[in-house]
Amino acid sequence: MPELLYGLIVTDQSGFFVVETPEGARITCRLRGRLMEEAQSSDIAAIGDRVGFVMNDDGSGAIEEIMERTSVISRAMRTEGARGAGAREREQVIIANADQAMFVFAAAQPDPSPRMIDRFLVMGEKSGIPSTLVMNKSDLDTSGEARTLMGVYERLGYRVLYTSAVTGSNLDELRGALLGKISVFTGPSGVGKTSLLNRLQPGLGRAVKNVSQYHQEGQHTTRASELVRLEGGGYLADTPGMRTLTIWDVEPEELDGYFVEIAERVRQCKFANCQHRREPGCAVREAVERGDIARTRLDSYRILRDELQAAYT
């Protein structure tokens, strides 16, 4: 058998993977046949995966093995109906082995949505990696409403960075947080992510945007994902398709474990299967009434639980 080489998947597009070796060479690879069988139900290879591969005579490679992952960020992918409007079918791995998630929102234009923030944070908690909220366009928060909202998350222990691509506020701190790490940098559209990336590193926003493709129709999915190298070390993950986010592999009764302040009080509820709605002796609702848990967080939990319940029935 040819010598087994090792590297990092930095590009994933329609079944082709570009693997970067420690020496900096980039080899276009495909999964070996037995691995392709396993990939039918889940993305067993994705950007961020560390793999072993062999060289083919034509200069391409064949991935023989995939190293155990330390973390994974996934979402549920719909594979039926127009643009995936049907039932959830399989796991789509956004990135493997990321060190951190940077969720970018705007302080204004558009206003930050607590529902969307909480959805992203649940994904981060599920992955087990640290999550940071990047509040861009902070110069537009003249009323202070965005900072008030972010105070809810800062009190929960989440790191919040207030940035502005226009004024350059806190860009050095953000740049330092990214260096030397594999980072997911994502958020809703219109938050100024591309402008922010270009201020961090000239051309970076364009590099990310150029590889961002996502299309689903019926049973066919075409996707391009890439780890973009940062000056000074580290990678930034492009995450196509994150304009919508359906949580993967979280059952309704597990959801409260991914809301950190709710999880602390679940065992104090009178009933083990408490849904924190109208049940007597609910410690979570009592904490909301005392002001220890933000009502917006409980509302987000209930909405997301209803969504998961519908998906599992």
- Separation CA 153–CA 133 (nearest Å): 9
Helix or strand (DSSP H, E) at 299: helix 295-311
188 and 109 belong to one structural domain:
yes
Helix or strand (DSSP H, E) at 260: helix 260-263
Under 8 Å CB-to-CB from 181, ≥6 apart: which residues?
A: 99, 100, 234, 235
In which band, very low, low, confident or very high, does the pLDDT at 260 lie, cut at 50, 70 and 90? very high
Nearest CA among 295, 312, 184, 177 for reference residue 238: 184
21-25, 126-130, 225-229, 257-261: the lowest-pLDDT one: 225-229
Tally the residues of the chain: 313
pLDDT the model gives residue 297: 98
More confident residue, 146 or 195: 146
Contact present, 122 and 247 (Cβ < 8 Å): yes
Q: Domain for residue 71, yes or no?
A: no
In which band, very low, low, confident or very high, does the pLDDT at 242 lie, cut at 50, 70 and 90? low
Main-chain phi, psi angles of 208, to 5 degrees? -70, -45
Indicate if the pLDDT at residue 156 is higher than 60: yes
| Contacts of range 259-264, beta carbons closer than 8 Å, 24 or more positions apart | 259/118, 259/122, 259/125, 259/297, 259/300, 259/301, 260/125, 260/156, 260/157, 261/156, 261/287, 261/292, 261/293, 261/297, 262/293, 262/297, 262/298, 262/301
In which band, very low, low, confident or very high, does the pLDDT at 224 lie, cut at 50, 70 and 90? low
133 and 200 belong to one structural domain:
yes
What CATH number is attached to the domain comprising 299? Answer: 1.10.40.50
pLDDT the model gives residue 80: 46
Indicate if the pLDDT at residue 207 is higher than 60: no
- Separation CA 289–CA 280 (nearest Å): 14
pLDDT the model gives residue 245: 60
23-37, 128-142, 197-211, 228-242: the lowest-pLDDT one: 197-211
47 and 105 belong to one structural domain:
no
258 and 200 belong to one structural domain:
no
What's 194's DSSP letter? H
Under 8 Å CB-to-CB from 199, ≥6 apart: which residues?
A: 165, 168, 171
In which band, very low, low, confident or very high, does the pLDDT at 1 lie, cut at 50, 70 and 90? low
Residue in the block written with tokens 């010598």? 3
Indicate if the pLDDT at residue 87 is higher than 70: no
What residue numbers bound the domain in which 117 lies?
A: 77-84+97-210+233-237
Q: At 309, list the tokens.
A: 């319940």
What CATH number is attached to the domain comprising 126? Answer: 3.40.50.300
Q: In the chain, how many domains are there? A: 3
What CATH number is attached to the domain comprising 35? Answer: 2.40.50.140
Q: Domain for residue 295, yes or no?
A: yes
Give residue-wise pLDDT tens across range 167-202: 999 999 999 999 999 999 888 888 988 889 899 988
More confident residue, 159 or 34: 159
103 and 188 belong to one structural domain:
yes
In which band, very low, low, confident or very high, does the pLDDT at 115 lie, cut at 50, 70 and 90? very high
38-52, 59-73, 279-293: the lowest-pLDDT one: 38-52
58-67, 116-125, 210-219, 242-251: the lowest-pLDDT one: 210-219
Nearest CA among 302, 266, 288 for reference residue 152: 288
To the nearest whole number, what is the mean pLDDT of the chain?
Answer: 86
103 and 205 belong to one structural domain:
yes
103 and 201 belong to one structural domain:
yes
> What number is the average pLDDT over the span 266-291?
96
- Separation CA 258–CA 273 (nearest Å): 16
Q: pTM for the complete prediction? A: 0.84
Under 8 Å CB-to-CB from 244, ≥6 apart: which residues?
A: none
Q: Domain for residue 91, yes or no?
A: no
Q: Domain for residue 284, yes or no?
A: yes
pLDDT the model gives residue 188: 83
β strands within 67-176, DSSP E = 72-78, 88-96, 100-106, 131-136, 159-162
